Amino acid sequence: MYARRRRNYFLLMGGCVVLFVSAWAVVRLWSMPAAIAMCLVAMVIPPVAAILANRRGPEDRWWDDPSGDPESDEWWDELDGRKRY
């Protein structure tokens, strides 16, 4: 799951760099508004990439992991209505 998130993050960020560089190296020679539009799209990609890379999937069960303190884990299990065996 971490490899998939990392790969998606780097693909999005690579696309961002490609958009930005190609906008000012190539596209601006033919159309300045298109280059500006490409930069605006590239500006939105980094926050989206960070959100997607840091979100937890349905297979991530971090809230069910024990804390390591037996007394605390027993207390939380009692509050959640779970019995420890």
pLDDT tens for residues 62-76?
666 777 788 888 887
**Domain for residue 85, yes or no?**
no
41 domain-assigned: yes
Please name the residue that has the structure tokens 């979100």: 55
Backbone angles phi, psi at 49, to 5 degrees: -65, -40
Per residue in 19-60, pLDDT (tens digit) is 999 999 999 999 999 999 999 999 999 999 999 888 877 666
- Domain range enclosing 40: 2-57
Question: In terms of C-beta density within 10 A (0-12 exposed, 13-18 middle, 19 or more buried), how is residue 38 classed?
Answer: buried
Does residue 46 form part of some domain? yes
